[in-house]
Amino acid sequence: MRGPLSRRADRASASPTLAISSQAKALARNFGDVISLAAGEPDTPTPPHIVQAGIDALHRGATRYLPVAGLPDLRRAIADQSMMLRGWRPEADGEVLVTCGAKHALFHCFQVLLEAGDKVLLSDPAWVSYGPQIRLADGEPVKVASLASEGFYPRVEALEAAYDERCRALIINSPNNPTGLMAQPEQIEAITRWAAERGVWLISDEIYGRITFSDGPKMLSPVQVEGADLDRILVIDGVSKAYAMTGWRIG
Ligand SMILES: Cc1ncc(COP(=O)(O)O)c(C=O)c1O
């Protein structure tokens, strides 16, 4: 494309994940046995009963426009599943929004929360797409220092040091991409209470929440924390990782 684009479009960068993925594919073509750790993509296919249910739905005529917030049955199922996973049932009709994947849900969050110059705090390292999405919404991503010994989840002191009146939101992602680490319950509790005290929106990206060891600890969500401000927490989740449905685009 040659013509001038908007300044906003110029600020968008190509997805580094996809760039590394195609580099890995090129290496695999030349060298054979290459394991790509770029895209978070399960190495199993979508389970056959899910594929079949999709085919059956298409044959039944589920090919038309839908309610903007998603199919009522799906929103109810999401609310039920959240109850199972987090012990918290959002209102299916009002608090659950179906999107074209978790990435799209995050895009919406930044678009609706941020005014130009608003800051969003991120742990460091963080998933590569948060920063560009925040910038596309005219916001400023601010990485908060954290220690390897603390699983790269920031302490309240570090959040407080990064905070100013332009700080509008904080993203946490546990279990985390890229580190693979899950926050300790006391870290989630401290971060959640800090966000509530500061009146900062807490965006909790829980896309990897169901990929945990069966004999290990389970994810704790901010919505489970006593003292959480449920009016300012956005839980991001989707089917891509848990059900190997990355191409179906449901968040
Ligand atoms: C941390 C994190 N959040 C969100 C997503 C996006 O998931 P989806 O496929 O539902 O858009 C990914 C995908 O890699 C991710 O790693």
Give me the phi and psi of 144, to 5 degrees please.
-105, 130
251 lines ligand 1 (CB under 6 A): yes
127 lines ligand 1 (CB under 6 A): yes
21 lines ligand 1 (CB under 6 A): no
Residue 207 near residue 172, CB atoms below 8 Å: no
| Domains of the chain by residue range | 1-39, 48-236
Q: Which CATH number fits domain 48-236: 3.40.50.620, 3.40.640.10, 3.40.190.10, 3.40.50.300?
A: 3.40.640.10
Sheet holding 167-173, edge to edge: 140-144, 119-123, 167-173, 201-205, 233-236
What are the structure tokens assigned to 168, written together? 């509008």
pLDDT at 11 > cutoff 80: no
Determine which of 34-43, 181-190, 198-207, 209-218 has the lowest per-residue pLDDT on average.
Answer: 34-43
pLDDT at 20: 86
Chain segment 108-147, per-residue pLDDT in tens: 999 999 999 999 999 999 999 999 999 999 999 999 989 9
* DSSP label of 230: G
- Going by CA atoms, what residue is nearest to atom 7 of ligand 1? 102
pLDDT at 145: 87
Report the predicted TM-score, pTM, of the whole model to 2 decimal places: 0.94
- pLDDT (mean) for 47-51: 98
How far apart, in whole angstroms, are the C-alpha atoms of residue 39 and residue 54?
A: 24
pLDDT at 6: 87
Chain segment 73-119, per-residue pLDDT in tens: 999 999 999 999 999 999 999 999 999 999 999 999 999 999 999 99
38 lines ligand 1 (CB under 6 A): no
Which ligand 1 atom is the nearest neighbour of the CA of 104?
Answer: 11
189 lines ligand 1 (CB under 6 A): no
Which ligand 1 atom is the nearest neighbour of the CA of 105?
Answer: 11
102 lines ligand 1 (CB under 6 A): yes
pLDDT at 56 > cutoff 70: yes
